[in-house]
Chains A and B, each alone.
Chain A
Amino acid sequence: MRQRSQRRRMIVGGAILATSALALTACASGESGSSGASTEELTGRGPITYVSSPDSSGAAQQTIDAWNAEHPDEQVEWIELPLDADQQRQQLAQNAQIESDAFTVLNLDVVWTSEFAANRWITALPEDELPVDDMIPATVDAATYNDTLFAAPYYTDGALLYSRTDLLDAAGVAEVPETWSELQAACDAVLALPEAAGMSCYAGQFDKNEGLTVNFSEAVASAGGSLYTDDGTPDVNTPEALTALEFLVDGFESGMIPAEAITFQEEQGRQAFQDGELVFLRNWPYIFNSLSATDGSSAVADKFGVSPIPGEEGPGVSTLGGRNIAISSYAENKETALEFIQFFVGEEQEEARLELSSRAPVYASFFEDDAVTATYPYLPTLLDSLESAQPRPKVVQYGTTTAAIQDEVYAAISGDKSPEDALEDLQAALEEING
């Protein structure tokens, strides 16, 4: 009897172990290497891979097809990553950690560039062989780490203020607001109108994800501040940051920002504006097409306009979004990779992609081209926004940094912490991350 029950215990134990071990298997990797290249010669020719988020427009595929037609011996194979940016970053980082040569050309979010460069996961690029002088300076800055170019700007993104121009006209507001107090005044006038019953004034992205970091750092820059000093020390416990955070906190308290906006990511805000529930919305250019749809899905088609986001004392400062293209340090055929990047971000291909994709090119010249602005009327406004745009914190530990910002700002706007306490705690958290 004893033997039997012992064996039984073993089986039970094995079953428990098996079930719970599933939780572990994902975390049991992680040998880290420290070798890497910085400014070596880019050599080697042959087939390469392009590793990127999916592109539903088909524009990037068109560029790759064009390259492959010209280079039969140096074919580019597209490796598609998941749509979720966190998962993309994780796969790219894991590939770098095992020093695999499977990924050659990497499509990186602008905010990952510093982390990838500092870890030597990507190779420095020769600045004089890329057309960086013709590109919008802010985009090149976002591809640079420690005064060295590590990536080539691919497309760019900036904030726009969408406003209900029909209601502004009806309320007799002549100009779209350029400052936060003008924004409030415009709302007061518009919301007094009978046709604006039930509407709310303003929303951005305030759910606890990257959108909140974007909106907060934009507000700080728009109040004349900065999250980091020029030498990279965190500096958030400042009067400017307090003004910015109070703009958001007071907005929620007074109802200028509707309470449900604390659950808004890009899409929920887009939906609310499109359904006619908001007078003003801060969002990216990509929603322009949905808003102007005339098939009945949008209640605001032809009733809205775009302008740069407002700030404390004048037009606000946008955060810079977009993507960069870089070469993995562990890849083969780096010479081909560099040529492919030159081809990919070249003016000719950027122009060809505009026919399929509304992603903003990185060359200022397109923003004033009549043929292009006829299709994308928001481009001149976006250029204004981009010329003054600030990159998000250029820190190596971007993941922990953005998480700390989200933690504290979210606590403040949900009323769990006073703005002063939140900024003080954020300063402490960022100092700890910086080490």
Chain B
Amino acid sequence: MTSSPIAPTFTTPRVRRASTQHEGRTASLLLSPTFLVLALVILYPLLSAVYQSLFSAQSGLDENGFVVEGESFVGLGNYLDIFAGSDSGRFYNALFNTSVFTFVSVALETVIGVCFAVMMNRAFRGRGFLRAAILVPWAIPTAVSGLLWRWMFQADGIVNSISGNQVLWTAEGFASQVAVITAEVWKTAPFIALLVLAGMQIIPEEVYEAAKLDGASAWRQFWSITLPLVRPALLVAVLFRLLDALRMFDLPFVLIGPRKSSVETLSILAWDSSNQLQYGTASAFSVILLIYVAVIAFVFIKLLGADVAGSGDERRQRKAAKAASKGAVR
């Protein structure tokens, strides 16, 4: 295929090539400020973090009790310490927590978010109110919602007094993980709902009318029309949530507290090391988290084909293929 599939027919090949070259140069020129900003705010910190992660801060005391500081190059030593050092249990525990929190909460969010979207998509009285009510949790800053849930989950809080139990939610253990996942789902299900709702509103009404004529039940309509057509939007929403949840920090930090092993995530480990002025280890944790996030995202895109870049013609092709296969089944 040539570089420009929809070239106007009346130009000669030579002129066309010249004009695309010219357009390409203009495009690069126009985009260069963006690339420059991206390089400054993303590429530089990223490379700098990778570089930093190869150093370790040594500190000892001299005979007067003053700190003698030095940074020494340790190569992959920080990574080796994380994966196999004496404190590696803490890393694997955090990796496990991060994964469990991410997959459990994103799964729950997706189900609840889709339900919310279906409700919000219906025309009924008070719909505007319902939409606003569902979106409120998303609008609250995470740290604030962490505090809010902390009050509800504390020993004499509303959760215990309504359920009549004496569960210590904010101490260590399974209860604290449940508390974090509850608060996370409460906060972010509206995000999925919002994106799915946007996807639903572009589904033409005629499709549903045709389905009704064919006698399809509401359930069948949802499975065979709504869900497949809303799939691209849903996948993007879930992908964003996955990336976000893997970086989870503020909710467990505020709701349960730092250094509680049952809710410690990778981001909290990075924070903790930088708090101890161990920037090398902190950077190494962040780089590991970055790689983990990238791998999950890559697998997700490969497996489910989430259309992040929005290449429309592919989508059209896929849809056509799907329609064809459906026709064949019928």
Residues of A within 8 A of B (CB): 1-5, 8, 11-12, 14-30, 32-34, 36, 38, 86, 90, 93, 97, 118-120, 145-146, 207-209, 259-260, 262-264, 268, 271-272, 396-397, 399-400, 403, 406-407, 410, 414, 435
Interchain CB contact under 8 A, A16 and B274: no
- The one of B166, B267, B279, B294 in contact with A16, judged by C-beta atoms closer than 8 angstroms, is B294
Distance in angstroms between the alpha carbons of A20 and B276 in the assembled complex: 23
Interface string of B288-301 (1 = CB under 8 A from A): 01100110011001
Distance in angstroms between the alpha carbons of A26 and B240 in the assembled complex: 21
Distance in angstroms between the alpha carbons of A262 and B169 in the assembled complex: 11
Interchain CB contact under 8 A, B283 and A27: yes
Which of B16-24, B59-67, B133-141, B216-224 is near enough to bind chain A?
B59-67
Interface residues of B in 233-284 (CB under 8 A from A): 240, 243-244, 247, 257-260, 267, 270-272, 274-277, 279, 282-283
- Of the listed residues B65, B294, B311, the one surrounded by the most CB atoms of chain A closer than 10 A to its CB is B65
Interchain CB contact under 8 A, B166 and A260: yes
**Chain B residues closer than 8 Å to A396, beta-carbon distance:** 59, 61, 65, 67
Interchain CB contact under 8 A, A19 and B170: no
Which of B45-53, B124-132, B199-207, B320-328 is near enough to bind chain A?
B45-53
Interchain CB contact under 8 A, A16 and B297: yes
- The one of A21, A118, A406 in contact with B290, judged by C-beta atoms closer than 8 angstroms, is A21
Distance in angstroms between the alpha carbons of A118 and B171 in the assembled complex: 35
Interchain CB contact under 8 A, A260 and B283: no
Interchain CB contact under 8 A, A4 and B311: yes
Distance in angstroms between the alpha carbons of A119 and B65 in the assembled complex: 9
Interface string of B70-92 (1 = CB under 8 A from A): 11000000000000000000000
Quote the shortest CB–CB distance from B263 to chain A (angstroms). 11
Interchain CB contact under 8 A, B257 and A207: yes
Chain A CB within 8 A of B168 CB: yes
Known: A1-B1, A29-B279, A260-B156. A17 touches B67 (CB 8 A): no
Distance in angstroms between the alpha carbons of A5 and B306 in the assembled complex: 14
Known: A16-B243, A90-B275. A263 touches B154 (CB 8 A): yes
- The one of A27, A32, A399 in contact with B69, judged by C-beta atoms closer than 8 angstroms, is A32
Interchain CB contact under 8 A, A118 and B67: yes
Distance in angstroms between the alpha carbons of A377 and B311 in the assembled complex: 74
Known: A20-B247, A208-B260, A272-B156. A34 touches B172 (CB 8 A): no
Interface residues of B in 14-62 (CB under 8 A from A): 38, 41-42, 45-46, 48-49, 52, 57, 59-61
Known: A120-B66, A145-B65, A396-B61. A23 touches B308 (CB 8 A): no
19 contacting pairs across A/B (C-beta < 8 A): A3-B1, A15-B308, A15-B309, A17-B42, A18-B42, A21-B42, A23-B270, A24-B290, A27-B283, A28-B46, A30-B57, A34-B70, A119-B69, A146-B65, A207-B170, A208-B172, A263-B154, A407-B259, A414-B172
- The one of A20, A32, A90, A263 in contact with B293, judged by C-beta atoms closer than 8 angstroms, is A20
Interchain CB contact under 8 A, A30 and B45: no
Distance in angstroms between the alpha carbons of A145 and B69 in the assembled complex: 18
- Smallest Cβ-Cβ distance to A206: which chain B residue: B171
Distance in angstroms between the alpha carbons of A8 and B298 in the assembled complex: 13
Distance in angstroms between the alpha carbons of A27 and B1 in the assembled complex: 45
Interchain CB contact under 8 A, A118 and B61: yes
Interchain CB contact under 8 A, B259 and A27: no
Quote the shortest CB–CB distance from B258 to chain A (angstroms). 8
Interchain CB contact under 8 A, A32 and B156: no
**Chain A residues closer than 8 Å to B279, beta-carbon distance:** 27, 29-30
Known: A27-B270, A34-B69. A21 touches B61 (CB 8 A): no
Known: A12-B301, A28-B48, A34-B70. A23 touches B155 (CB 8 A): no
**Chain B residues closer than 8 Å to A14, beta-carbon distance:** 38
Chain A CB within 8 A of B110 CB: no
Additional A-B contacts beyond A36-B66, A272-B156 (10; CB < 8 A): A3-B3, A19-B243, A23-B286, A24-B286, A25-B45, A93-B277, A118-B66, A118-B67, A146-B64, A259-B168
Chain A CB within 8 A of B287 CB: yes
Chain A CB within 8 A of B123 CB: no
